Chain A
Amino acid sequence: MTLLEMKNVSVHYGRIEAIHDMSFTVEEGEIVSLIGANGAGKTTTMKTISGLLNPSGGSIKFMDEDITKMKAHIRVVQGISQAPEGRGIFPAMTVLENLDMGTFGRKDRSGVSDDLERVFTLFPRLKEREKQFGGTMSGGEQQMLAIGRALMSRPKLLLLDEPSMGLAPQFIRQIFKIITEINGQGTTVLLVEQNANQALARAHRAFVLETGAITHSGTGKELLANPAIKEAYLGVG
């Protein structure tokens, strides 16, 4: 089943077009990666899906419902949850309070403790630090917190904006391992990355973004093997 469908979506900042006529789909149960260089429109795409930006053209469908005009805070309730670029941690809240904010839009209070347990199982580090302030944690811990917080709304679609940004190489592998684990538990994942290697290796399907438009698409393995992509994004060739 198609979970998310972007159809001819364009986004403008003032008069500058950041995304041009973009179309792609995310199927239920997949990990889909968007890779691209700085300024390719990756974060813009994510913000458009989560509802922080309004498209100037095209339509977005989520579970066969048109959400093009839907506000961001309602999309969360519908099942789209984002771990934003730069992590977006609430610095003056503790880890637990940050996680708690993730449940803000939820109607069912009863499932909250199950999800908290799930997050703590995925990230035992967060449990150790549950009373620590978000702003005082390391980059990696903040990234865990951002992903954990996004999971607290029990999303159908998890949007991850550059989860590897600013992390040590060993840590990047861990984060991607956990992303695969989250996906294995039944959450569809759409992630954007500059770290093309990991993003392509872990993805079922992937798209390459260049100056606001999709230039390549295929399975993760196909794109990993593509010579042009190897040269441009993987630093070999």
Chain B
Amino acid sequence: MSMSDGPKPLQTSKSAQGTAEAESHGVPPGSSAAVARPRRTFGAWSDKWREMPRTKQWLVLLPVVVLAFLLPLMDIPLITTEPGNDWPLACQAMAIFALVAVGLNIVIGYAGLLDLGYIAFFAVGSYTAAMLTSPDSAFIKIPYLWTIPVAIAVSMFVGVLLGLPTLRLRGDYLAIVTLGFGEIVRILATLIPAMKGQPGFQNVGHPPGVGDDGVPVFANNNGTPWYWLTLVILIIILFLVGNMERSRVGRAWIAIREDEDAAETMGVPTFKYKVWAFALGAGVGGLAGAIMGGQVGFVNNQKFDVVTSILFVAAVVLGGSGNKVGAIVGGALVAYIPLRFTAIAEYKFLIFGVALIIIMIYRAQGLVPARQRLLAYGTKAYADVKRKYGKASHRADTTPQSTAEGASS
């Protein structure tokens, strides 16, 4: 280290030794490459991605989005699910699971709150859509598309209602309480007469529009339009979640996830932000539930069991807790695999269980690991400092790099 001028009160033998060690491996000590990270295949991509300007990111994303929209129309051999399962409907299932995973990722991935009863919000959304559109329901009827914002609002309200008393708990205790809540909603659906238990609600509404042949565009068995609708909603949600992730709120969540007490002593109102994470996650869950209810056209108490709830958690963990792209990958995979390989569908819980164990051993961060970014003003402050230091002594940045290269060559 050629820190010849300026104060250097902490150049002890211990720290010097650490530097020597880093240099002998040929890694610049100031760079993130000094961090030992196993299997950086995806990490390298995401590093490159982050360095791209925003406009370039959009250009790269465009073909991906176009491809995603064309997905149900393409019958790619080996990938498609025909003839056993309808491919467009499989795409729709993948999109729904991806949406659920993105929502649950806010709660588990960002804020670190292990919610095992996320299915409850999904159920609340489904029931909201069903009870406001199905002829079996005694409630007032509204057009299906209007039930989507109502479903979001109702599930967010339920999220806050559940969050206020339970978010004072931490870790395992919270997981147990949410697990209970997941069951409570299902049992309430059985017990409350207005929710009609197992007979459930038939002919749940769908968006308007009738094709040339007189069949509704959004028929239950017509996956493609439903998939497109879900995909548009998913993209909107991703955009909102992405902005939130980069904001102060996102940083607060990450801090809470990493160390709640430390976050509180940094000035983060932890309880408030935890309730927010819970409510926003619930809102996305309710939204996914409402779409699912409309697409299937039938909602009863049999669909919202704890096992499905665990499957949601598996999707998030599999994809990469804390990364929204990971959540989409995880959600889509969890939906896709049993539909594609119908022969093993019966064993899906066994397979996902084994997959999770393998992931935990070899790639604990999930398929697409998370990485956080600086707050905008943090970056700005950093740039200011860099400018101040930079002119007087830019060696602080350049020297470690060059010495490291010297050592490695």
Kindly report which residue of chain A lies nearest to residue B400, judged by CB atoms: A128
Interface residues on B, range: 35 or more
Is residue B6 contacting chain A, with contact meaning CB distance below 8 A?
yes
A94: chain B residues within 8 A (beta carbon): 32
In B368-393, the 8 Å CB interface with A consists of 370, 372, 374-375, 377-378, 380-382, 384-385, 388-389
B258 & A90 in contact (Cβ 8 Å cutoff): yes
Cβ-defined partner of A131 (8 Å) among B7, B32, B265: B32
Contacts of B378 in A (CB 8 A): 96-97, 100, 103, 112
The complex places the Cα of A128 from the Cα of B263 at a distance, in Å, of 24
Contacts A84-B262, A132-B34, A133-B35 given; does A171 touch B384 at CB 8 Å = no
Taking the nearest CB of chain B, how far is it from the CB of A61, in angstroms?
19
Task: Assess whether B265 is in contact with A81, with CB atoms less than 8 Å apart.
Answer: yes
A191 is an interface residue with CB less than 8 A from chain B: no
Q: With the chains together, A179 CA to B385 CA distance in Å?
A: 23
Query: Is A124 in the interface zone, CB < 8 Å from B?
Result: yes
Q: Please state if B10 and A123 are interface contacts (CB–CB under 8 Å).
A: yes
Known: A90-B259, A133-B32. A174 touches B388 (CB 8 A): no
Interface residue? B36 (CB, 8 A): yes
Residues of A within 8 A of B370 (CB): 92
Decide: A153 and B266 in contact? CB cutoff 8 A.
Answer: yes
Our pick among A76, A117, A127 for the contact of B267 (Cβ within 8 Å) is A76
Of the listed stretches B11-19, B97-105, B225-233, name the one at the interface; the rest are far from the partner chain.
Answer: B11-19
Q: Which residues of A contact B36 (CB under 8 A)?
A: 136
Taken residue by residue from 1 to 40, chain B's Cβ proximity to chain A (1 for < 8 Å, 0 otherwise) reads as 1010011111111110011000000000111101110000
Tell me if A144 and B10 are in contact (CB < 8 A): yes
Q: Which of A88, A100, A101, A153 has the most CB of B within 10 A?
A: A101
| B12 contacts A97, C-beta separation under 8 Å | no
Q: Does A218 contact B (CB under 8 A)?
A: no
A171/B12 in contact, CB under 8 A: yes
**B145 contacts partner chain A, Cβ-Cβ < 8 Å:** no
The smallest beta-carbon distance between B339 and chain A, in angstroms, is 34
User: What is the count of residue pairs linking A and B with beta-carbon distances less than 8 angstroms?
Assistant: 166
Interface residues of A, CB < 8 Å — how many? Answer: 60
User: How long is the Cα–Cα vector from A125 to B18 in the complex, in angstroms?
Assistant: 11
Given the complex, which residues of A lie within 8 Å of B258, measured CB to CB?
A: 90-93
Query: A109 within 8 Å of B by Cβ?
Result: yes
> A170 and B9: CB pair below 8 A?
no
Q: Mark B226-256, 1 if CB is under 8 A from A, else 0.
A: 0000000000000000000000100110110
Bound-complex Cα distance A36 to B377 (A): 41
Contact check: which of A104, A122, A141, A168 meets B251 at CB < 8 Å? A104
**Is A73 interfacial (CB-CB < 8 Å)?**
yes
Do B12 and A93 touch (CB < 8 A)?
no
Q: Please measure, in the bound complex, the distance between the C-alpha atom of A116 and the C-alpha atom of B388, giving whole angstroms.
A: 11
Nearest chain B CB to A172's CB is how many angstroms away?
Answer: 10
Closest residue of A by beta carbon distance from B259 = A88
Chain A residue numbers with a CB within 8 Å of B75 are none
Are A127 and B269 within 8 A (Cβ)?
no
Give Cα distance in the complex from A51 to B262, angstroms: 12
B172 CB within 8 Å of chain A: no
A101 and B248 CA atoms in complex are apart in Å by 10
Interface string of A85-127 (1 = CB under 8 A from B): 0001111111011001111111001001100110011111101
Please give me the residue from chain B that is nearest to A97 by CB atom.
Answer: B374
Contacts A72-B264, A131-B31, A153-B266; A100 near B375 (Cβ below 8 A) = yes
Assembled-state Cα–Cα distance A15/B3 (Å): 54
- Cβ of A140: which chain B residues have Cβ within 8 Å of it? 10, 12, 14-15
Q: List 18 A-B contacts (CB under 8 A).
A: A52-B261, A73-B266, A73-B268, A88-B262, A90-B259, A92-B254, A101-B255, A109-B377, A109-B381, A113-B380, A117-B388, A117-B389, A124-B6, A130-B382, A133-B35, A136-B34, A138-B18, A178-B10
- Contacts A71-B269, A92-B370, A105-B267 aside, 14 further interface pairs with beta carbons under 8 A come to A73-B266, A84-B261, A90-B254, A90-B259, A93-B255, A96-B378, A102-B266, A103-B381, A113-B384, A128-B30, A138-B14, A141-B18, A144-B10, A149-B266
Chain B residues within 8 Å of A, Cβ to Cβ: 1, 3, 6-15, 18-19, 29-32, 34-36, 248, 251-252, 254-255, 258-259, 261-270, 370, 372, 374-375, 377-378, 380-382, 384-385, 388-389, 396, 400
